[in-house]
Amino acid sequence: MAIIGMLVAFAGAIGVIIWRLSTAATAARDIADAANDVSSLARRWSWFRRVNKHPLDTITDPREAATAMMAAIVQYDGHMTERERIAIIGCVSQTFDATAQQAEELLAQARFLVKDVVDPSNCFNRLAPLVEKQLGPNERRDLIAMLTKVAGADGNPSEAVTHSIANLERRLMG
């Protein structure tokens, strides 16, 4: 009977040890999850702040802003022709000293950002503060020249596009 009592006590001790190890493992997992949550907090907060923003308001690079403005001009009539695409790629490559692949990527991103923009003036008004803050007078003139070149790439630009560019020029240069 004493042997049975010792075996039950031994089995109980083993059970308690296993239970304590399981509890310790769960606690370690919880601590690791908490550390992961803390490290992901900044990334989550950044995404949370951008969720309800207009895509144009998330642009921080003036090159992206300029390309988005050009894309808004050519998409004003509903589609982008091959001549307009080539004009944008040429302006981006030449002005920003970008490779053809970088220019294509900037254009693809810009087309995504302005896909819901109906009026180029709206795009210009959203991006003008960024341009005013980060570009000097010569760079602003280059931007207006690029916009004018792209607007006329497929013939005569519409009056609305010409008016939008003129308003932006007055805002940036005056």
Buried b (16+ CB within 10 A) or exposed e, 85-122: bebbbbbbbebbebeeeebbebbebbbebbeebeebbb
What is the rounded distance in angstroms from the CA atom of residue 8 to the CA atom of residue 3?
9
Q: Is the pLDDT of residue 76 over 90?
A: no
Residue 39 confidence (pLDDT) = 66
Q: How many CB atoms neighbour CB 152 within 10 A?
A: 15
pLDDT of residue 46: 65
Chain-centre distance for alpha carbon 87: 24
Name every residue whose Cβ is closer than 8 Å to that of residue 88 and which is 6 or more positions away in sequence.
Answer: 67, 70, 71, 74, 103, 107, 150
pLDDT of residue 49: 61
pLDDT digits over 99-113, tens only?
A: 989 999 999 999 999
- pLDDT at position 28 is 84
Kindly report, residue by residue over 116-173, the tens digit of the pLDDT.
888 899 999 999 999 999 999 999 999 999 999 999 888 888 888 999 999 999 998 8
pTM assigned to the model? 0.69
